[in-house]
Amino acid sequence: MTDLFSQLAAWLTSAGQWAGPEGIAQRLLEHVEYSLLSTLVAALIALPIGLFIGHTGRGAFLAINLSGFGRALPTVGIVTLVFLVSGLSMTPVYISLVALAIPAIVTNTYAGMAAVEADAKDAARGMGMTGLQSLWRVEIPLAAPLIMTGVRLATVQVIATATIAAYVSFGGLGRYIFDGLAQRDLTQVLGGAVLVAALAVAVDLILAGIHRILFRHRLT
């Protein structure tokens, strides 16, 4: 173990390891690109669904169960299936990562909206706001902290899972895990894992910081 950790330290700190088209910097960038794009697309799909259900109260049962169902989707299976049907491209990777991120965002958005008290909505209506105005000015701002929690959760999960891109020959930090395994280089596997975890934690901390700045006037 001692050897492994000192080799890991050497691997992580050697300048040669960071540079070039197969260096850590490039792999990190690819990983961020895959993860952010997937989370963004997932948010664009999941937020309207969560908001609609939360605002109207319609289809809540269906949506919550469908997201639970979505959580059970095996990423390896989705990637393989889409790859075999559509051929080799980033599409299988993006589809599986988006599918992974949607449930957390839908459920948290819905939960946030559902937690908005009826009094607040009544007050909005009483002030003469239309349904859409109430949604935009009252409900979304009140639900925002929980929505943000959902987005953070999804992002962390996507970053940890985006290693799957390497399974179908693409880049990202997963490259170190798959290549290290094939080349019997445990240091590389561990290095990849540590980098993924560090990236996930760093991004989560950044999002937490944004969260705090946005909602610092709140008690919740």
Q: How far is the CB of 157 from another protein (least distance, A)?
A: 8
CB of 147 to another protein, least distance (A): 16
User: At closest approach, how far in Å is the CB of 182 from another protein?
Assistant: 4
Indicate the residue among 130 and 183 with the shorter CB distance to another protein.
183
Please name the residue that has the structure tokens 């990777």.
93
| 40 or 197: CB nearest another protein | 197
C-alpha–C-alpha distance, residues 29 and 56, integer Å: 40
Q: Are 208 and 200 in contact (CB under 8 A)?
A: no
Handedness of CA 12, 13, 16, 21 (dihedral sign): positive
Nearer to another protein, 138 or 165 (CB): 165
Compute the least distance from the CB of residue 123 to another protein, in Å.
Answer: 29
- The CA-atom distances, in angstroms, between 220 and each of 30, 55, 92, 115, 153 are 35, 20, 39, 12, 18
* 205: Cβ contacts below 8 Å, ≥ 6 apart: none
Residue 178 near residue 151 (C-beta atoms within 8 A) = no
**Where do contacts with another protein occur on this chain (CB under 8 A)?**
1-5, 7, 68-69, 71-78, 80-81, 83-85, 87-88, 152, 156, 159-161, 163, 166, 168-169, 174-175, 177-184, 186-187, 189-190, 192-193, 196-197, 200-201, 204-205, 208-209
Minimum Å gap between C-beta 114 and another protein is 15
Residue closer to another protein (CB basis): 10 or 127: 10
Torsion angle of the four alpha carbons 208, 209, 215, 219, in this order, in degrees rounded to the nearest 10:
70
